[in-house]
Chains A and B, each alone.
Chain A
Amino acid sequence: MDDGLWLRCLVGIELSCRGASWWLATARYNLVMFQLGYRRVLWLFLLPYGIGMTILITIPALSTAVLAFTEYDALSPPTWVGGRNFGLMFTSPVVRQALFNSLFFVGAAVPLRLIGGLLLALLLNRPRGLVGVARTAVFIPTLIPAPAYALIGLWFFNPVYGPLNLFLGAAGLPQPAWLTDPWSARWMMVFLAFFQLGEGFILFFVALQTIPRAYYDLARLQGASWWQMFWYITLPFLRPWLLLFVVRDLLLSLQNSFVPSYMITYGGPYYATTFVPLLVYEIAFDLFDLGLAAAVLLLLFAVVGLLIWNVWQIWGRE
């Protein structure tokens, strides 16, 4: 080794020692003066949230997008197969059926939950009489854990032993076979989702409280009808909340269809309630074709993303 290199090494060591001692001194100064520094503790507070969610959500979500182009059975390392999964997916009638089921489900459940939650919030917005009890009652089905709710649904819609058909029969209405007929099974799922509308109800209830009373007083002075007040005051104020609800509920309903379809019908009858999450579960954890499952998920997100984008275009402008 020549002298120059030695010298440079020594200088480097010297400099890094100085750097380290400077850093140590600053750290000690911070520790003494600001008890580790206000900002730094804040970042320490944010660390578990940031790192945890990155590991639990960001990385898996992004990996799913990559996984869709591979063949992977969770045992041997994944191999790149390009568009094979997508080709398989587009020719599969089961995938098409599941996509249709999921879209029908959100298409029926989300508007119903929106309208139901909004109507209940409007109705229960005034402090009178039994309103407190009703508010409590509306939120109860939402709180029931999904597996328990599914079992209750199983009994409720039982064509022979369930109370629903009993009442329908007593009222002289047709009694669908619910669990064994494709279309009534789909509507059963929508009905079950509808009754868990508590979250939307709370959201709209809180939103209604933010509208200043003065607007209504003024409108009333000018002789506005109830409908005019709703259309020109309430609805414009609620618009951002409605938008928030629709976007969130599209994704939430899609996900929440898993437990009832798994426990009540397991996708039947004739794949009528095989929603995309259940199909993905079967492909990934029964057939161990994680690549295909990821491709199906990607397709679903593309479709739902398009839906949300449309909602945004219609309501979110201005």
Chain B
Amino acid sequence: MKFLHRFYPLAVLAISIIFLLPIYWVLIQSLNSVGSSVTEQSLWWVSDPQWENYVALWELLPFTRYLLNSLCVVAVAVPLTLLSASTAGFALSQLAPQAQRSWLGVSLFWLVIPAAAVWLFRFQIFNWAGLIDTRWVLIVPALAGSNPLFVLFYYWTWRAVPNELWEAAQLDGAGAGRIWWQIARPLGRPTTTAVVLLSFAMYWGDFIDPVLYLYDSQLYTLPIGLQLVNQLDRANLPLLMSAALFMMGPVLFLYGVIQPALLRHLRFNPFL
């Protein structure tokens, strides 16, 4: 144990490096010239950064369109998720204990059904609803809270609030909608932060849904763009890395912006 104490800062530093260094390498590799093999030197620094790699991405494929499509999906799906997940989570936290338990059971059931199990018949349902080959196939889950986990996050947050608070608000004549908006929403802010990040990552990186349900190349999103780059120019590793960076940039940026708030609340986690 003494041994661990002495080397503790070193271990922490090593962990940070192991998890961060690959990102740096990807950045360097994305600026390397095409066809050059990796040497120990070229991993750490590029003397003549090839910014053209990022331009080449645009020349190869209509990335502006993919970007706009992705942004459109995220811009609709994330606010919708916040609305549907938080209202459902709030309602859950207000039900009688018996009803809460049964909804919790159903939510867990939804949570453990693997996505592959619903691929086949969801295709049929979207087909009957005439949604195949429209943007809606990507957005529709947001109407139902996106992921039962998000609903449960909100539920756990507001269940931890003493019941007297809700009862007092009801006695004062506030309706459910008003209590949700004026009392529950400010209390659930840390949860909202987490759900924004997670739902953004979910819709931004959604690869399987467009692969299964979208055929019109005008509607392709960024993940499909990445797969097309992968198919068209597989040996061009710097190009692949610039595409990957382009895809993960916004998520990491959002994480950087949100993360201080997230960690601040992690210690006083409301749903514990």
Contacts and interface: CB of A to CB of B under 8 A. Distances in A.
Nearest to A294: B120
Contact of A259 (B180, B207, B243): B207
A134 B241 contact: no
A241 B259 CA distance: 24
Interface residues of B, number: 93
Contacts of B69: none
A151 B120 contact: no
A46 B49 CA distance: 53
B141 A41 contact: no
Given A45-B90, A74-B123, A144-B251, A124 B12 contact: yes
B39 to A, nearest CB: 8
A209 interface: yes
A30 to B, nearest CB: 11
A64 interface: yes
Dominant SS at the A interface?
A: helix
Given A41-B176, A206-B272, A145 B251 contact: yes
Contacts of A155: 26, 29, 237, 240-241
B88 interface: yes
Interface string A134-156: 11111111011111111110111
A259 B227 CA distance: 10
Contacts of A161: 37-38, 237
30 contacts: A35-B175, A36-B175, A42-B176, A45-B87, A48-B88, A56-B125, A56-B144, A60-B118, A60-B124, A61-B117, A120-B15, A124-B15, A130-B13, A132-B263, A137-B16, A138-B19, A144-B205, A144-B252, A147-B222, A147-B247, A149-B248, A154-B240, A161-B37, A166-B39, A202-B266, A280-B119, A280-B120, A281-B119, A284-B120, A285-B212
B219 interface: no
Interface string A278-304: 001100110000100110010011000
A73 to B, nearest CB: 12
B190 interface: no
A147 B92 CA distance: 35
B162 interface: no
The 10 A-B pairs at the shortest CB distance, nearest first, are namely A52-B144, A145-B205, A60-B121, A49-B88, A41-B176, A45-B91, A60-B118, A148-B247, A137-B19, A148-B244
Contacts of B15: 120, 123-124, 134, 137-138
A56 B122 contact: yes
Given A56-B125, A123-B15, A131-B12, 7 more contacts: A145-B205, A145-B247, A154-B230, A154-B234, A156-B22, A166-B39, A209-B266
Interface of A: 34-36, 38, 41-43, 45-46, 48-53, 55-61, 63-64, 67, 74, 120, 123-124, 128-141, 143-152, 154-156, 158, 160-163, 166, 170, 195, 202, 205-206, 209-210, 225-226, 247-248, 251, 254-255, 258-259, 262-263, 276-277, 280-281, 284-285, 290, 293-294, 297, 300-301
Given A60-B120, A67-B120, A154-B240, A143 B252 contact: yes
Nearest to A280: B116
A236 B243 CA distance: 45
Contacts of B72: none
B186 interface: no
Contact of B9 (A49, A64, A128, A144): A128
Contacts of B248: 143-145, 148-149
B125 A170 contact: no
B46 interface: no
A243 to B, nearest CB: 13
Contacts of A262: 211, 227
Contacts of A151: 226, 229-230, 240-241, 243-244
A146 B205 contact: yes
B229 to A, nearest CB: 8
Given A138-B19, A297-B116, A67 B121 contact: yes
B188 interface: no
A64 B124 CA distance: 11
Contacts of A129: 9, 12
Nearest to A43: B91
B253 to A, nearest CB: 11
B33 interface: no
